[in-house]
Amino acid sequence: MSTQNAAPIPVTLIPGDGIGPEIMESAVEVLAALGAPFVWDRQLAGLAGYEEKGDPLPEETLASIRRTRLALKGPLSTPLAKGYRSATVRMREEFDLFANVRPARTIVPGRYEDIDIVLIRENLEGFYVAHEHYIRIGDDPRAAAMSGGVNTRAECRRIARYAFEYALRNNRKKITIVHKANVLKVLSGLFLEEARNVARQYEGRVQVEDRIVDACAMQLVLNPYQFDMLLCTNLFGDILSDQIAGLVGGLGLAPGANMGEDVAMFEAIHGSAPDIAGKGIANPVSLLLSSAMMLDHVGESQLADRLRKAIELTLTVDQVRTMDLRGKATTREFTRALIARLG
């Protein structure tokens, strides 16, 4: 179905840092070739925002997202253990992007075949609230560090309902609730309790089980095929989402979305890779697959399926792959090959 006459859909476009502008250029070009009905409002965040505007999340960027309610974001740089706070985390908080959706599906055959797992991660609570401080011992004011996590019943119910509704919409059969309630009996126990309460409302429609997080991580390696969907708190979901990406070849082959009640942000889930920035060898697939998720979100599922199929054929039939996928193609060469497939 052609969308050439579809009403244009404004999207806040955040190229990001490091390799971000390179892979975003690829995504914009591919989406144009696909006929996607997006019009872009380019904005800054992360290190680029900090260097140009003095803020890793400038007010102009926030205003744009408030207006469009839709964003496509490249990777953003965040200093380790010092400096400014993650702009991505701040955007999640600002726009109540409570659900992180991380699918992992095999495209390029590798160590595992036919992986198809979706992880739903609570995005706003847990230890990521960053209630942290140092503790003085003797003469050392930074002798110890303390961090507190927060889980609310309301938010646990909201993310659980989102996961079960996602399962129904996408014909998923089973949800595994991931927790550490054997040790974190209150913080993680509350999440497990509320997720089980929500699960009762879907009895007979979606199977449910629960796993302690360390056992789940081991079983994902030993037998990932036993899992269909994972429902996780913020910290555990952050870790396990990268693990399931590893099952399908790495972060360069996995998409991600941050979903709120009326705002959605789609992103490349890997880092900004400053060591290869400007060399023209970055892999744009993560951002392209996230763009396909954005197409689904705006009701353009036929275009999304075309894009995903073209990516698969470019990688597997044409064997055009970037260096991280044991290929020799540049970012530009992969983009051209993908556009040829779309044609």
Catalytic residues: 128, 180, 214, 238, 242
- Give kind and range of the element (H or E) at residue 146: strand 140-150
- Give kind and range of the element (H or E) at residue 312: helix 301-316
- Give kind and range of the element (H or E) at residue 194: helix 187-200
What whole-number distance in Å separates Cα of residue 225 and Cα of residue 240?
Answer: 15
Q: What is the residue type of 235?
A: L
The answer to whether the CB of 335 falls within 8 A of the CB of 322 is no
**Tokens describing residue 51:** 């260097």
The answer to whether the CB of 237 falls within 8 A of the CB of 100 is yes
What whole-number distance in Å separates Cα of residue 12 and Cα of residue 297?
Answer: 15
Q: In terms of DSSP bridges, do strands 70-73 and 229-232 run parallel, antiparallel, or are they unpaired?
A: unpaired
The answer to whether the CB of 229 falls within 8 A of the CB of 167 is yes
